[in-house]
A and B are shown apart, each in its own frame.
Chain A
Amino acid sequence: MGRGWRPILAGGAVVVGTFVLAKATVFAPSTSSTSTLTGDTASGKKVFAENCSGCHGDGGQGGGVGPTLAGSGLDAATVSAVVEHGRGVMPPAIVAGQEQADVVAYVVSIATSSQ
């Protein structure tokens, strides 16, 4: 086998390695890591303004590419699952850990307060 194959073989190995790593998602936030955390609505409001309002509008009132959250009636489990795993154009894991718990608490508060 000539030297000309070396870049192709090495590149192919890196592609396979990247794919395996991507499928493993070794640092993906897990549900168990955040389910025991208690969310703070006030902190969640700040996290939401910084990370979510661009798509869901100020206070989740809509106006961006994301759905209106205020008054939507979403529960904590649903919000947490969407934050962790994404949905449609929304990427997963925009926030994680305590910030995730906080923003979930805040979204649930606006989702249920206007009903």
Chain B
Amino acid sequence: MLVADVAGRYTDLVTTVFSSTIAMKVWFATAAAALGLVQVTTAARIYGRLHFLPERGPAIARVHRWSGRIAFLCTLPVFFHCVTMLGFQTPDARVAIHSLLGTFFYGVFVAKVLVVRDHSLPGWALPTVGLTLASMLLLLWLTSSFWYFTTVGFDF
């Protein structure tokens, strides 16, 4: 497939389900943000907070792991469209902030995955990088999906 065909074919594929590529990104990003909330909530429970939730244990850990995996998968179509088709742009403050956060997002994600696996690091490292990642996801959602919902509408 020619590189020049990718954008057209990608758009054709996406619009078999969604009204537009932008709508697709909005809803995938919203799903990722919602799962990010699950991540923060379950992580807080794992760290002994939020006592109204079920007891700490394998179930909470499993929910944490799978919500993270699914959230990551939800970000991939967004990444593909934003990074390979739209690129880094700074036409206004919202898009500039979104571009900057998007550029750093997967770097922080990789750092978080490595921190999880490295038990020699201090205890504050994982919650710090995890909260940083969750905050970035929230800000990315606010500068994209939330903007879309409040200025364009709840198109699917």
Does A3 lie within 8 Å of B88, measured CB to CB? no
**Chain A positions within 8 Å of B92 at CB level:** 88-89
Selected A-B contacts with CB under 8 Å, 6 pairs? A8-B111, A18-B106, A27-B3, A50-B20, A97-B11, A99-B11
Residues of chain B touching chain A, judged by Cβ–Cβ distance below 8 Å, are 3-12, 15, 19-22, 80, 82-89, 91-92, 94-95, 99, 102-112, 114-115, 118, 120-121, 125, 129, 151-153, 155
Residues on B with beta carbons closer than 8 Å to the beta carbon of A96? 7-8, 10-11
Q: Are B88 and A22 in contact (CB under 8 A)?
A: yes
Establish whether residues A33 and B103, one from each chain, have CB atoms under 8 Å apart when the complex forms.
no
Interface residues of chain A, those whose CB is within 8 Å of chain B, are 3-4, 6-8, 10-15, 18-19, 21-30, 32-34, 50-51, 54-55, 64-65, 86-89, 91-100
Question: With contacts A18-B83, A29-B8 known, is A23 near B88, CB below 8 A?
Answer: yes
Tell me the nearest residue of chain B to A16, going by C-beta: B107
- Residue from B4, B11, B82, B103 in contact with A95 in the complex, judged by beta carbons closer than 8 Å: B11
Query: How many inter-chain contacts with C-beta < 8 Å in the A-B complex?
Result: 143
B interface majority secondary structure: helix
Q: Which residues of B contact A51 (CB under 8 A)?
A: 19-20, 22
Of the candidates A4, A33, A87, A92, the one whose C-beta lies within 8 Å of that of B86 is A92
Q: Within the complex, what minimum Cβ distance (angstroms) separates B77 from chain A?
A: 13
With the chains together, A11 CA to B92 CA distance in Å? 27
Q: How far is the CB of B130 from chain A (nearest CB, A)?
A: 12
Measured between beta carbons, the chain B residues less than 8 angstroms from A7 are 110-112, 114-115, 118, 129
Contacts of B108 in A (CB 8 A): 11
The answer on a CB contact under 8 Å between B107 and A15 is: yes
Q: Are B4 and A12 in contact (CB under 8 A)?
A: no
User: A30 and B4: CB pair below 8 A?
Assistant: yes
CB of A43, distance to nearest CB on chain B (Å): 13
